[in-house]
Amino acid sequence: MFKFLKGVVGGSGTGPKDLPYNIGDPYPSAWGSWTHCRGTSKDDGSPVSIFSLSGSNAQDGHLAAGRNGVKRLRTVRHPNILSFLHSTETETIDGATTKIVIYIVTEPVMPLSEKIKELGLEGTQRDEYFAWGLNQIAKAVSFLNNDCKLVHGNVCLASVVVTQTLDWKLHAFDVLSEFDGNNEAAGPLLQYAWLVGSQYKPMELVKSDWAAIRKSPPWSIDSWGLGCLIYELFSGMKLSKTEELRNTGSIPKSLLPDYQRLLSSMPSRRLNTSKLLENSEYFQNKLVDTIHFMEILNLKDSVEKDTFFRKLPNLAEQLPRQIVLKKLLPLLASALEFGSAAAPALTALLKMGSWLSTEEFTVKVLPTIVKLFASNDRAIRVSLLQHIDQFGESLSAQIVDEQVYPHVATGFSDTSAFLRELTLKSMLVLAPKLSQRTISGSLLKHLSKLQVDEEPAIRTNTTILLGNIANYLNEGTRKRVLINAFTVRALRDTFSPARGAGIMALCATSSYYDMTEIATRILPNVVVLTIDPDSDVRSKAFQAVDQFLQIAKQYHEKANSGDTTGPASVGISSLPGNASLLGWAMSSLTLKGKPSEQAPLAPVNTSAPLSSTTSNASSVMDTPTTAPAHVSSRTELTDQPVPESPTSTDGWGEVENGIHEDNECEKDGWDDIEPLEEPKPSPALANIQAAQKRPVTLPVSQPKQATSVRPKNTAKAIKDEDDDLWGSIAAPAPKTSSKSLNLKSSATVDDDDPWAAIAAPAPTTKAKPLSAGRGRGAKPVASKLGAQRINRTSSGM
């Protein structure tokens, strides 16, 4: 009664209710009386294969053999034997008829005959795939015969299935039995041998000569079956009678001798499958060797791995594409994820991934790449950054912001200049996917430090990056940061490509500045560079002046017509020679120890989203950092000097480049430079004239005084930065405009120019009048960017 109720409940729908799987559509073919269906798990929807065997009588021999197959499949485990997941048996009663169904649930597989049609391989690629598959089946048969002393008894095309990774696996264990060669009983060795078609049986099995079978090696029956499989595989037809095995026209020549030995008429002379694996020339091809190397990767040393993975990208192009994507790619991803693969493997992974659709790439490759960003292997990190343009667009904004960027950001402070530069360039791809909080709170802070990096090319490329990501900054960030990064730092760099990058950055971001900023902060800084020693910088400076003057003229015309809205940017296209506007500068490694000041901003291998090469101008960083005293790089001594400060003619140089540098330790590199006031010539000129008439005596211990003036203020500035990230950028409270003319204390500012203190007193929140820097007796001052102070500090050390 209980069995009846169980059968009634379980026999409806898509399968028995105690089977935690849904039964789907059947495949056209299966072994014996079994039905092979697709299926899915009721828990997570994962795919499975479901084999079912039904019988109307409890004494049905098919059911008994099926139960034997379930038991054997559950207990025998091997990589090349079908993986067992679940089984159940149901019984339903329909009137006077009882129906018993056995279900076996396995990993998702497809009949080999169907998979061969689906792949459609031809020529060499087909032979290589068949060799790999036969190699796997031979391993399974050898395991059963030699290790387990079992006889499968039914090896043929129908007993082989193919997994989603295109692995061949042996199943159909209904006939499987122990080989009892020492048993002299006359009973059958294979209880269910009657299930096997006569065309697949060797002569001794056809005659049921169990005595001869017991005297034969345990592999004799299955070696014959393997020969039948080889025939069906290469002929493309199901074996209908034993005599067809003599037709060897379709068998590859390298396999033919082994094929004939497998089908020897004498059981004792049949080839052992283990010997077939060891000695057959047929199994020695690129596909088999490649997959075999990947499967035993942990046993290889680092030299072998490195050599293999460097060859793999080119080798993968020669192998069957479907096998590479479904078999090699998962193996490679797993090896990288668990650390057994070397860094060059990432190149092969990305090349294989490029053959996938966007959806497949996201599922099969991206998860591995995201995990690799957490690797401590520097070679892996370098390889990721070098190829980030190949997969960066596929990363979601959330993954970049939460999982990728925190690991990438460690490269900003790496001791290797090469890794710092790669990290910097990777931001061109990642920055658009970062949140404003991450950009303002982290990215711009790192970029601020890189803009004063010791490597000149890194400084230049930082400005280039800022120009490229400007449109991803919010308006408030751009207002606080852009001009400061491009004028205070880039235009005053000792490295000429960095100065050129700063000019181009200002031009590219001209639409973000109002007329007041252009007139009071941009043009005065750019005009200075029209006398730069570097011709390329001078050319860019003149172009920039023309562009900003054109903006000013447009503003003037609008103002006259009553329209005082913001000036319309002329646009980058109006500037001649700006084809390389946002391209990367040369590599820092190339420049190391031999900076080429006169070289233009040559674009190098950039993946800038804007176009091939639009330079470094568009954006700046949001985070203040204290600019170190050594603003220029260690190659600075070989760099060309920036133009001398034109203080004696325009009153700007001393204010921005002289004493301002002495207080640089109190700044963060992003501070606003106050706009110029209207000149008040009378008091200033009177002071200058009076100073010119009286002698100035310089203190002897000047360097000590200079160093003693700053520590207190420096400590205070650092504390203020900790309290308020943007405190240094906000305009400070105004101080009194009157300055003491203490010659002794101010003389410490400039060792070479005794009038420097008068011409340009210590900076306040209000800029000094233009006339304050003029004086007939003033000497020409040294180069910009605090070179005097840097040289003085160096000599003191």
3-state secondary structure 323-336: HHHHHHHHHHHHHH
- Give me the pLDDT at residue 586, please: 57
- Give me the pLDDT at residue 61, please: 87
- Give me the pLDDT at residue 501, please: 95
pLDDT at 344 over 60: yes
Interatomic CA distance for residues 351 and 286, integer angstroms:
18
Over residues 7-11, the mean pLDDT reads: 38
- Give me the pLDDT at residue 186, please: 52
Q: What is the pLDDT of residues 464-513, one digit of tens each?
A: 999 999 999 998 899 888 899 999 899 999 999 999 999 999 999 999 99
Mean pLDDT, rounded, of the chain: 76
The closest of 303, 321, 317 to 348, measured between CA atoms, is 317
pLDDT at 778 over 60: no
- Give me the pLDDT at residue 582, please: 60
Over residues 315-330, the mean pLDDT reads: 93
The closest of 409, 390, 393, 428 to 618, measured between CA atoms, is 428
Position with higher pLDDT, 4 vs 483: 483
Q: Report residue 185's pLDDT band, with 50, 70 and 90 as the boundaries.
A: low
Over residues 44-65, the mean pLDDT reads: 90
pLDDT at 12 over 90: no
Which DSSP helix (H) or strand (E) runs through 364?
helix 358-364
Position with higher pLDDT, 302 vs 743: 302
- Give me the pLDDT at residue 564, please: 59
263-272, 305-314, 407-416, 653-662, range with the lowest pLDDT: 653-662
- Give me the pLDDT at residue 733, please: 43
pLDDT at 105 over 90: yes
| Phi, psi angles (nearest 5°) of residue 370 | -60, -40
Position with higher pLDDT, 705 vs 413: 413
Q: What is the DSSP letter of 356?
A: S
Q: What is the pLDDT of residues 728-751, one digit of tens each?
A: 444 444 443 334 333 333 333 334
301-315, 328-342, 532-546, 660-674, range with the lowest pLDDT: 660-674
Q: Tokens in use for 208? A: 């049921």
pLDDT at 290 over 90: yes
- Give me the pLDDT at residue 789, please: 39
Task: Report whether 632 contacts 498 (CB < 8 A).
Answer: no
- Give me the pLDDT at residue 480, please: 86
- Give me the pLDDT at residue 417, please: 94
Q: Report residue 143's pLDDT band, with 50, 70 and 90 as the boundaries.
A: very high
For a pLDDT cut of 70, what percent of the chain falls above it? Answer: 68
